[in-house]
Amino acid sequence: MEDLIKKGAKLIQESKNVLIFSGAGLSVESGIPDFRSPGGLWEKYDPSDFYYDRLLSDEKVRERYWEMSMEFYALMKDAVPHRGYLAIKNLEDMNKLLAIVTQNVDNLHQKAGNSPDKIIELHGTAFFVSCLKCGQKSTRDEVELLIKNGVKAPYCDVCSGILKPDTISFGQSMPADKLSDSFKYASECDLCIVLGSSLVVYPAASIPEKAVENGAKLVIINRDSTHIDHLAEIVIHDSLSKVLDDIIIDN
């Protein structure tokens, strides 16, 4: 392990433009369980119930969705970024961070102090809610208050349209501009570090592959193996907070 840490630190030292690609595994040590892991929300809820077209067409589905979403938001609202997140902030302070492309919706990169303009939230954010009809945006806490007061599936107070958290649901298209920017950064980085992602959700998972195709070196730090481990300079299966702290602080 010590040799891998030293090699990772050297890769960062030699890099100028680091792309961070983060997934749900990065937030586990901040108390936010991975949806798919034991104890995750998909043990209690069936994800197929929440496909985007069903959310649009069935109010009962929306009521169940908001029940699940409130449970998830409660875990995220007061979560604190662990030292791995703070190490990523140090990477920005070192002027080596090109961008963070994250599959997470938990706001922890922002809480850690990374610049919002460095963060691409591919799957959106759970901290805001939008009307699907007129686009009116509200804070999550405003809408949570409505639900706590008995509203099971909230509607827009401007146009009566359906309200939905600003997260990407199954079957819902990712914003084209965010995908485009992510692939642009993948073509510009000289080092891509994958953190806590199983790399199974596409098209997001193809971003590290694109970085390698464009000549970048790849580091993968994840609990389990991924299908592109063979492309990486180093692969580490260990605590993300500890490994990131060791690799980045060493610089």
Q: Euclidean distance between the first and final Cα of the chain, in Å?
A: 17
Backbone angles phi, psi at 155, to 5 degrees: -120, 160
List the structure tokens of 214.
Answer: 């464009």
123 as an active site residue: the answer is yes
Q: Among 82, 109, 123, 237, which one carries the catalytic annotation? A: 123
* CA 102/CA 120 separation, integer angstroms: 6
* CA 231/CA 229 separation, integer angstroms: 5
199 CB neighbour count, 10 Å cutoff? 22
Handedness of CA 111, 114, 118, 123 (dihedral sign): negative
Nearest Cα to 108, choosing from 201, 248, 250, 240? 240
Q: Which residues pair with 165 in a beta bridge?
A: 129
Active-site annotation, residues: 123
